[in-house]
Structure 1
Amino acid sequence: MTTSPLQAAEKILLVAPHRLGDTIFATPGIRVLRQAKPHAQIDAVALSALSHELLAHNSCINTLYSAEEQPIAQLAAEYDAVLPLQNINKVSEYLKDIPQVLMFPHYESAFHYSENFYRFVLQQLPSAAEFPVGPYELNVNAQDKVDADRLLKSIPAGPGPFVIALHMGCHQISKKGQRFLYKLFPFLMTNDTRSWSFKRFDQLVQRLVMQHPSVHFVLTGSSSEGFAADALTAHPNILNLIGKTNVGQLAAVLQRCQLVLTGDTGPMHVACAVERPMILLCGKTDPAQTGPYPLRNHHRIIQKDGMDNISVDEVYQAVVRYLPDAATQRDSVSAASTTG
């Protein structure tokens, strides 16, 4: 019987992609790989600061490198097998001429993306089948928790405030970044992105803080999304943390929130990793492939054919169901999907 390169490998190099969500999708498979090869040296090289921050405290990885500091081609020469954590076509420019690369097949639509790297590991390492795929892995360290306490200190302590993390941006906004573009072309904020319109976010926030004074909002996002905060009417119950957290600090901040309201973004997957109640707003993306994983009772998905078809009122009603004084308590909210 032929032994696969991964079965024989003693030293394995993982290649983490640029985007946060794409990297976190692979963490269940990384854990299974470690369980199946407990004595192997499993290292990783990150193509971006985001993926490096995500994997920085992953207990399944021995050594973590940055591609900016350690060229992949030089690193790869020291390893028996090189595994990209994402579809090979998306990282091929970094892996050309490396013979130890094990090809990652295209994603299959029947599975959530988080299961693809796991299934890739099973194809290469059949003995891993005894270890079931689990949830995402993101370890929040003590310093991240201290930092989160500092960042949230303006929110009153105690059981009174109901804190909602609000992530208004998405990868497209972060990548394009120019605020004037969205002032000139507001349609870019609707059907063609993963973000709800800033105007509707503002209407929702103002309605909630007016009718439910205990509600506080924490705005999250990358520094290139900083202009998103300008779209909201100023209010003392809004804390702007856009551009002020790394991945670990973001995870610790989300742990302290009672609800996360977001589109289909990397921070949505971070919220899943730290098991927060969530409302996901999505348009043409498929939540069965890229939505909350694993889907829990405290997750609610509101999906329409285009983000601009999601009304302020239906999101407001969804949020109210999570509030402590709602007739339906937060923990019993079903993972329903509203489609249209």
Structure 2
Amino acid sequence: MLRPLICFAGNIAFLFKNRQIPNDPRNIAIMRSGGIGDVLMSTPLVKAIRQEFPKARITYLVGEWSADAIKGNPNVDKVMTYRDEIIFQQHRKEVNKLIQRIKKEKFDLAFVLDKAWQWNVLAFMAKIPFRIGFDRNGEGFALNLAVPFDGSKYELEYYRDLASAIEISNVPIEMEFNISERDEKKAEQIIKKHAKNKTVILIPGGAKNPGQELAAKRWPPQYYGRLADELLSRKYQVVILGAKTDSEICKAVIRNMKKKNAVNLCGKLNLGQSAALMENSALVVTHDSGPMHLAAAVKARIVAIFGPTDPGRFAPPAARVVQDTRLVPPSYDIYGKLKNQRGSLALIGLDMVLKEVLAALK
């Protein structure tokens, strides 16, 4: 109930504001919190901003959790990080320090890619004179230019809307992730050591960041284990990937396998090494998660299992989607919450996923 009141008051307080877009911004901030996938989905917009303002200094403000998704991106001059918990746990003293850090940068234009009103106000308090972002049911009141957001289409299309609002055209649809030479070499070593056959990567974890954890988005580990057995019996090499925080999930996959010759690299690779391995694989199988977007960014073939989230909003265009809305209808709302959830991904059986996996491997 508090959000509508804040939005009502905010829209009155910010009724009169500058709507004149800067002609030649020289110091641009791009602000995005959340998970790795959230950051990766912003990379086409980042590229378009760089092409439109080639002489500008572009800084990407992001939490430490997801910073590696944008580090090394050639379209960004600086990556400015903060501890995610100060935002999601509302540490006011630390947030004020962050505002002062941003203020010292003297940005003249900000692209605020979060939908929550708090980020728009933060950019205002950091004295960024022109702020562009989204309006989600009135939350864009502190922005100079706000583009409507209703969650009805692919996330990257909203970034295109944002660009179009200031007459930036030709925003690509492909995400980008830059892999270092060192990480490429590490992936080559792994492939040489383990991959006697075509490699299929299974990623059973993810679906979490410092702001939220949505276990309901994960296909059960026992199903991944059975899928691994099916692939191994067909002479594919199976590699299990994940972060250190996914180690128990990855172990559960192994426990549910009859064959024990899958390679478990969970927690052993950094983001770049994981991306390089995906890039050189025959297929990546996962659910709606950051690794799904990472695989898309390096143009890996993907089978993506969807349940409570809408693939129309989150699935990479080239991914083969496994979904049954009769069993698990989408219930993820525009505020990032599961609302009136029915069913679970346990209802998406092995046969349905295996069929798509084998089709993708042809």
TM-score by length of 1: 0.79
Match of 1:271 among 275, 295, 303: 295
Match for residue 10 of structure 1? 26
From 125, 130, 133, the equivalent of 1:97 is 125
2:185 pairs, out of 146, 151, 161, with 146
Corresponding residue for 1:84?
112
Aligned to 2:323: 303
Q: Structure 2 vs 1, CA of residues 279 and 176 (structure 1 numbering), >3 Å: closer, same or farther?
A: same
Q: Which runs of 5+ in 1 are unaligned?
A: 178-187, 324-328, 330-340
* CA deviation profile, 1:138-157 (whole Å, cap 9, x unmatched): 11121110122234443145
Deviation at 1:238, TM superposition (A): 1.1
3-state SS of the aligned residue for 1:71?
helix
- Which residue identity lines up with residue 151 of structure 2 in the other structure? S
Structure 2 matches for 1:1-340, cutoff 5 A?
4-50=20-66, 52-68=67-83, 71-77=98-104, 78-89=106-117, 91=119, 95=123, 97-100=125-128, 102-105=131-134, 106=136, 107-123=149-165, 125-126=166-167, 128-129=168-169, 131-157=170-196, 161-172=197-208, 193-210=216-233, 212=234, 214-231=235-252, 232-233=254-255, 235-292=259-316, 295-296=317-318, 299-304=319-324, 305=328, 306-323=344-361, 329=362
Q: Name the CA distance, whole Å, in 1 between partners of 2:60 and 2:209.
A: 28
Alpha-carbon distance in 1 for matches of 2:204, 2:211? 14
Specify the alignment match of 2:90 in structure 1: none
Contact 2:65-2:209 at 8 Å conserved across structures: no
1:13 is aligned with what amino acid?
Answer: A
Tell me the distance in 2 between the aligned counterparts of 1:194 and 1:7. 43
* CA RMSD after TM alignment: 2.7
Change (3 A) 1:275 1:171: same
Q: How many residues were matched structurally?
A: 297
Evaluate the alpha carbon distance shift between residue 65 and residue 198 of structure 1 in structure 2; reply closer, same or farther with a 3 A threshold.
same
Write out per-residue CA displacement over residues 81-109 of structure 1, whole angstroms, 9 at most, x where no aligned residue: 22223224374585462231615213333
Query: Taking structure 2 as the reference length, what is the TM-score of the superposition?
Result: 0.74
Shift of 1:172: 4.2
Q: Which string of whole-angstrom CA distances, capped at 9 and with x for unpartnered residues, describes residues 175-231 of structure 1?
A: 889xxxxxxxxxx96xxx111111211122223323x1x211111112111101221
Percent identity for Structure 1 against Structure 2:
21
- Structure 2: distance between partners of 1:291 and 1:279: 10
1:312 CA displacement: 0.9
Secondary structure in 2 aligned to 1:154? helix
Q: 1:118 to 1:173 in 2, by over 3 A?
A: closer
Say if 2:160 and 2:171, in contact at 8 Å, map to a contact too.
Answer: no
Q: What is the one-letter code of the residue matched to 1:206?
A: D
Q: Which amino acid letter does the alignment assign opposite residue 29 of structure 2? A: L
* Whole-angstrom CA distance in 2 between matches of 1:176 and 1:35: 34
- Alpha-carbon distance change, 206 to 6 in structure 1, aligned in 2, over 3 angstroms: farther
Other-structure match for 1:181: none
After superposing on structure 2, the runs of 4+ consecutive aligned residues of structure 1 that deviate more than 6 Å are 173-177
